[in-house]
């Protein structure tokens, strides 16, 4: 098959906030850049973000406090140099996107309004009603277009060109007709977003299948801190569709079936606005002890009725619609039923603060970059605070774009790509199309999601994790027996889903292996058999590598500490 080769200075994979922000900066600097995305850019998950984006803007707040809250929220695992960079640039980042046209909600005096979010000492989340992500994404996408960035929508990237520590392009196919192509480039940036789809109840878009992570891992590159998966306290009961923390920020209260405002027991000071890990565990505990609500007792109530219709319609209109559509409950009139939902992934592709991908805790690759949720620069450590991730995607997207321009100006050599280098991808497609087994993607995915939620969820033990390790081994074996019905070449979603499932099985293994080895509880990773944080042995980042047989080996890297000394975390 003929494989065309296109040449660029930079190829970016992913058109969410991080990808678009980087592309705009790179194009503005006069470099030749293409953005490849499996979705239309405006369908990227960034557009689903509701609640807000943090910056210490107001007179009562300051950057140092934002840094402290972030480090404490991370259970001291965040790298403090990265936190300092992001928090100190946050006000400028908000002004930058605002000047490009993002219409934030306003205070009476005309300044940008800010709402409280979990674990933050001050109201710090700037917002556009409850559609913050969409507002930001539309703005940055428009501006990237205005600069003339080339977007290739509905192109699926399946592999990187990577040799001897150096990247020089990607291999992709067109989802419309399955035509393959190679994109040869001096710099390759991944901005492929989150991957909570490995869990049964999750808040993520269908596309959040962690492709980028597995693509790297299959080349022997490490993934960092994968055991830290954030469970958000408020997904709609049953589906897990997100009800933003903005609901609690605006004053929402949580009740169990006995009408008790149970957060009094778990976080008497911060109550519903404790960080997500704390609230999620409190909810699961109420449910486990039989105080849940709903037909299966698997939910609790979130009450917003005291806010009144006017405030709900002004601040949370989208959330009200979601609860009516998917649950038949109107938050203006009654409490709605919520439950914990897998939401965000703190771990990912390890990068330094300028976005260079690491090939070990202390060595960098060349020509390879990552930013946004797929990356782990470790601003969130073991637990992310709400509204810090839109900030991460926007700020680091832009910053890594600038860093690529600097590297290009210093000079990056580029290996010439050859058509045969599409062979891994073509083999993968051929396998899925022609394999004649008896397993379906839908069945394997369902089993993966059910068991990950059950055995590697909010509460974990050695026993549940070892069981999950065996289940994953079995699922990976069964994947070899997969069969799809659609053999066509036009928008073959069966094929795409099977390839995505392969990625999910790979990165889920990293989550489980990291969690088995981390014999402590920190942030979102809670081991019932090791309920305490153990700084002596585990104040360190996990780096995990996959070999050709799919076995994982681990090593550890240092945490960049700074002015905030680790302390006990109380709210």
Ligand X SMILES: Cc1cc2nc3c(=O)[nH]c(=O)nc-3n(C[C@H](O)[C@H](O)[C@H](O)COP(=O)(O)OP(=O)(O)OC[C@H]3O[C@@H](n4cnc5c(N)ncnc54)[C@H](O)[C@@H]3O)c2cc1C
Residues comprising the binding site for FAD? Answer: 14-19, 37-52, 211, 373, 389-390
The residue (of 344 and 507) whose beta carbon lies closer to ligand X is 344
Binding residue for ligand X, selected from 8, 25, 33, 50, defined by CB under 6 A: 50
Nearest to 349 by CA among 226, 464, 223, 246: 223
What are the structure tokens assigned to 512, written together?
Answer: 């489980």
What are the structure tokens assigned to 213, written together?
Answer: 């992570």
Neighbours of 522 (CB within 10 A): 26
Q: How far apart are CB 306 and ligand X at their closest, in Å?
A: 23
Contact 401, 18 (CB under 8 A): no
Residue found by looking up tokens 């999620």 in the block = 280
Window of 23-31, 201-209, 425-433, 466-474 that interacts with ligand X by CB under 6 A:
201-209
Q: How far apart are CB 240 and ligand X at their closest, in Å?
A: 10
Q: How far apart are CB 183 and ligand X at their closest, in Å?
A: 11
The DSSP annotation for 164-190 comes to TTEEEEEEEEETTT--EEEEEEEEEEE
Binding residue for ligand X, selected from 94, 393, 422, 432, defined by CB under 6 A: 393
Residue found by looking up tokens 């928090």 in the block = 87
| Residue numbers belonging to the annotated binding site | 14-19, 37-52, 211, 232, 244, 343, 373, 384, 389-390
End-to-end CA distance of the chain: 60
Q: How far apart are CB 451 and ligand X at their closest, in Å?
A: 22
Q: How far apart are CB 216 and ligand X at their closest, in Å?
A: 12
Give me the sign of the Cα torsion angle 291, 296, 298, 303.
negative
Binding residue for ligand X, selected from 49, 287, 327, 408, defined by CB under 6 A: 49
276 is known as an active-site residue:
yes
Reported as type and span, the H/E element at residue 80 is helix 80-99
Residues that contact ligand X, how many (by CB under 6 A): 45
Q: How far apart are CB 271 and ligand X at their closest, in Å?
A: 20
> Does residue 133 touch ligand X according to CB under 6 A?
yes
Binding residue for ligand X, selected from 70, 105, 114, 132, defined by CB under 6 A: 132
> Does residue 45 touch ligand X according to CB under 6 A?
yes
> Does residue 15 touch ligand X according to CB under 6 A?
yes
Q: How far apart are CB 3 and ligand X at their closest, in Å?
A: 17
The residue (of 379 and 412) whose beta carbon lies closer to ligand X is 379
Window of 26-34, 192-200, 361-369, 407-415 that interacts with ligand X by CB under 6 A:
192-200
Question: Collapsing DSSP states into helix, strand and coil, what is residue 380?
Answer: coil
Nearest to 432 by CA among 493, 490, 473: 493
Contact 12, 23 (CB under 8 A): yes
The DSSP annotation for 484-506 comes to -S---SSS-HHHHHHHHHHHHHH
Beta partners for residue 293, in sequence order: 299
What are the structure tokens assigned to 389, written together?
Answer: 């991730």
Neighbours of 187 (CB within 10 A): 29
What are the structure tokens assigned to 44, written together?
Answer: 């990227």
Contact 207, 45 (CB under 8 A): yes
Binding residue for ligand X, selected from 69, 84, 159, 211, defined by CB under 6 A: 211
For 438, phi then psi, to 5°, come to -130, 20
> Which 81-110 positions form the footprint of ligand X (CB under 6 A)?
none
Window of 143-151, 202-210, 267-275, 412-420 that interacts with ligand X by CB under 6 A:
202-210
Contact 285, 292 (CB under 8 A): no
The residue (of 272 and 373) whose beta carbon lies closer to ligand X is 373
> Does residue 538 touch ligand X according to CB under 6 A?
no
| Residue numbers belonging to the annotated binding site for substrate | 232, 244, 343, 384
Binding residue for ligand X, selected from 192, 383, 403, 496, defined by CB under 6 A: 192
Binding residue for ligand X, selected from 3, 26, 34, 36, defined by CB under 6 A: 36
Q: How far apart are CB 212 and ligand X at their closest, in Å?
A: 6
Window of 7-15, 178-186, 447-455, 459-467 that interacts with ligand X by CB under 6 A:
7-15
State the catalytic residue, choosing from 115, 276, 315, 569. Answer: 276
Q: Are strands 375-376 and 349-350 parallel, antiparallel or unpaired?
A: parallel
Contact 130, 318 (CB under 8 A): yes
Beta partners for residue 231, in sequence order: 342
Contact 254, 281 (CB under 8 A): no
Q: How far apart are CB 436 and ligand X at their closest, in Å?
A: 26
> Does residue 51 touch ligand X according to CB under 6 A?
yes
The residue (of 204 and 464) whose beta carbon lies closer to ligand X is 204
Q: How long a stretch of residues is the chain?
A: 571
> Does residue 233 touch ligand X according to CB under 6 A?
no
For 267, phi then psi, to 5°, come to -150, 75
Per-residue contact string for residues 295-334; x = within reach of ligand X by CB under 6 A? ----------------------------------------
DSSP single-letter state for residue 43: G
Q: Dihedral of the CA atoms 143, 146, 149, 155 (nearest 10)?
A: 70
Residue number of the CB atom closest to ligand X: 16
Per-residue contact string for residues 346-385; x = within reach of ligand X by CB under 6 A? --------------------------xxx-----------
Q: Summarize as ranges the residues that interact with ligand X (CB under 6 A).
A: 13-19, 36-39, 41, 44-46, 48-53, 132-133, 156-157, 191-194, 203-204, 207, 211-212, 242, 244, 344, 372-374, 387-390, 393
List the catalytic residues: 276
């Amino acid at each position: 098959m003929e494989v065309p080769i296109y040449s660029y200075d930079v190829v970016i994979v992913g058109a969410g906030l991080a990808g678009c922000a980087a592309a705009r900066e790179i194009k503005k600097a006069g470099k030749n850049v293409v953005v490849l995305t499996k979705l239309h850019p405006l369908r990227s998950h960034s557009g689903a973000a509701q609640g807000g984006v943090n910056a210490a803007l107001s007179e009562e707040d300051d950057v140092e406090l934002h840094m402290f809250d972030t480090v404490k929220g991370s259970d001291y695992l965040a790298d403090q140099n990265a936190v300092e960079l992001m928090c100190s640039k946050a006000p400028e980042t908000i002004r930058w996107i605002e000047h490009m046209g993002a219409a934030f909600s306003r205070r009476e005096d005309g300044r940008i309004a800010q709402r409280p979010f979990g674990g933050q000492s001050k109201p710090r989340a700037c917002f556009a009603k409850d559609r913050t992500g969409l507002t930001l994404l539309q703005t940055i996408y428009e501006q990237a277009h205005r600069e003339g960035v080339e977007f290739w929508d509905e192109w699926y990237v399946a592999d990187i060109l990577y040799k001897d520590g150096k990247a020089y392009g990607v291999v992709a196919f067109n989802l419309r007709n399955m035509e393959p192509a190679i994109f040869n480039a001096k710099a390759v940036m991944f901005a492929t977003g989150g991957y909570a789809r490995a869990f049964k109840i999750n808040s993520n878009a269908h596309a959040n299948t962690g492709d980028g992570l597995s693509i790297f891992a299959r080349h022997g590159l490490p993934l960092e801190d994968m055991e830290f998966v954030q469970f958000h306290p408020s997904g709609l009961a049953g589906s897990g569709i997100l009800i933003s923390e903005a609901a609690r920020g605006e004053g929402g209260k949580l009740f169990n079936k006995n009408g008790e405002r149970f957060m009094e027991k778990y976080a008497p000071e911060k109550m519903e606005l404790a960080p997500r890990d704390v609230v999620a565990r409190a909810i699961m505990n109420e449910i486990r002890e039989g105080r849940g609500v709903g037909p299966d007792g698997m939910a609790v109530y979130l009450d917003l009725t005291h806010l009144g219709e006017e405030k709900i319609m002004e601040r949370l209109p989208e959330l009200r619609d979601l609860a009516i559509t998917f649950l038949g409950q109107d938050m203006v009139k009654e409490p709605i039923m919520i439950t914990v939902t897998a939401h965000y992934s703190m771990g990912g592709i390890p990068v330094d603060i300028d976005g260079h991908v690491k090939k070990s805790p202390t060595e960098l690759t060349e020509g390879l970059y990552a930013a946004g949720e797929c990356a782990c620069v470790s601003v969130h450590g073991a637990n992310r605070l709400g509204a810090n991730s839109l900030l991460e995607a926007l700020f680091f997207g832009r910053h890594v774009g600038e860093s690529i321009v600097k590297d290009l100006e210093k000079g990056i050599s580029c290996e010439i790509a050859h058509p045969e280098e599409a062979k891994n991808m073509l083999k993968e497609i051929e396998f899925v199309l022609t394999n004649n087994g008896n397993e379906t993607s839908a069945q394997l995915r369902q089993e993966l999601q059910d068991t990950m939620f059950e055995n590697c969820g909010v509460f974990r033990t050695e026993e549940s994790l070892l069981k999950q390790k065996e289940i994953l081994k079995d699922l990976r074996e069964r994947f070899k027996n997969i069969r799809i019905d659609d053999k066509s070449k036009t928008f073959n979603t069966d094929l795409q889903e099977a390839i995505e499932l392969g990625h999910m099985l790979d990165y889920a293994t990293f989550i489980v292996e990291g969690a088995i080895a981390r014999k402590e509880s920190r942030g979102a990773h809670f081991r019932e058999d090791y309920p305490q944080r153990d700084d002596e042995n585990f104040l360190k980042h996990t780096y995990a590598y996959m070999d050709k047989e799919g076995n994982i080996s681990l090593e550890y890297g240092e945490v960049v500490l700074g002015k905030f000394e680790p302390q006990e975390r109380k709210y």
